[in-house]
Amino acid sequence: MKLSCLPVSLFSAIINRQMSLIEWAEQGKLFGLDGVDISLLFIENHSPAYLGKLSRGLKEVGIPLIMAATYPDFTHPDPVQREREMEYLRRDIALSSQLAVRYLRVLAGQAYPGTRRAEGVKWAVENLSEADRVARKYGVRLLYENHSKPGAWDYYDFSYPADIFLEICEGIRGTGIRLNFDTANIAALGLDPLSILGKVYDRVETIHVSDIAEMGKLQPVLVGTGAVCFPQIFQYLKSRGFDNWLCIEEASFTGSEGIRRAAAYTRKTWDAA
């Protein structure tokens, strides 16, 4: 098992330039992470000078970028906007390749009131499959997530309901797209994460280790202090031979201390499982 972290608690500080991406990488290394995750919202621009400096700085820190999060919106009712979203994602794939990011987290899109289930599934599958062809060209692995709602969106994820998530998973079977399974988003639906994880385990590449205050309510808390039962989840993963990345999604908004505590809890609980 290897450990990384998406520092949702630090998003505002990094995006507002109060903390640099290099400083985040240094902090992750200090906390004993094996790699760090980022949102592509952290990237200031696409200029060669900036990206070159950023790449050199990350190399000096000596900790890899494991997963980048982006927010494609392929369920938009406007076909022109869906085309724009594909162009944005092509750029994000190329950017991830240039920064040597191993995985790019992708989504289906938003649950627009005017988008019917059948057409939303169709659009998501078609566009994700096309994005996979681009990602293969650049050596980037796309990971589709059972997502809930990012701050970048107005609506919840179209595939937040577990049955829609599973339907899209089947639609992209046969592509190179794997899954980033989020523990809290399933629990926030009032479901046992293992009830869904068991159905998709053969496609799972990474685990988003995230927690919520209580079952059935999307209220992020510090990992290990909420309703998600990590000992059972980790025992299941070990029983299936999982030995890849546990990517903590630290969204308790307790700052750097929350990230340190989440990392320590996750490693300790995994070792004891």
Q: What is the CATH number of the domain that holds 12?
A: 3.20.20.150
pLDDT tens per residue, range 34-77:
999 999 999 999 999 999 999 999 999 999 999 999 999 999 99
Supply the range of the domain harboring residue 143: 2-272
Give dist(CA 252, CA 263) in Å, integer: 13
Name the pLDDT band for 152 (thresholds 50, 70, 90). confident
Judged against a pLDDT cut of 90, whether residue 150 lies above it is answered with: no
pLDDT tens per residue, range 156-172:
999 999 999 999 999 99
Residue 28 · residue 270 · CB < 8 Å? no
The one-letter amino acid at 178: R
Name the pLDDT band for 151 (thresholds 50, 70, 90). confident
State the helix-helix crossing angle for 255-272 and 230-239, rounded to 10 degrees: 50
Alpha helices for 68-182 (secondary structure H): 79-98, 117-138, 162-171
pLDDT tens per residue, range 202-231:
999 999 999 999 999 999 999 999 999 999
Query: What tokens appear for 168 in the block?
Result: 């899209």
Q: Say what percent of the chain tops pLDDT 90.
A: 98
Find, among 264, 21, 12, the residue nearest to 152 by Cα.
12
Mean pLDDT of the chain: 96
Judged against a pLDDT cut of 90, whether residue 173 lies above it is answered with: yes
**Count of domains observed in the chain:** 1
Mean pLDDT score, 187-208: 97
Note the pTM of the prediction, 2 decimals: 0.96
Residue 103 · residue 141 · CB < 8 Å? yes
Residue 178 · residue 141 · CB < 8 Å? yes
pLDDT tens per residue, range 72-130:
999 999 999 999 999 999 999 999 999 999 999 999 999 999 999 999 999 999 999 99
> Which residues, 6+ apart, have CB-to-CB distance to 140 below 8 Å?
93, 96, 97, 101, 102, 103, 104
**Residue-level pLDDT at 8:** 95
**Residue-level pLDDT at 148:** 95
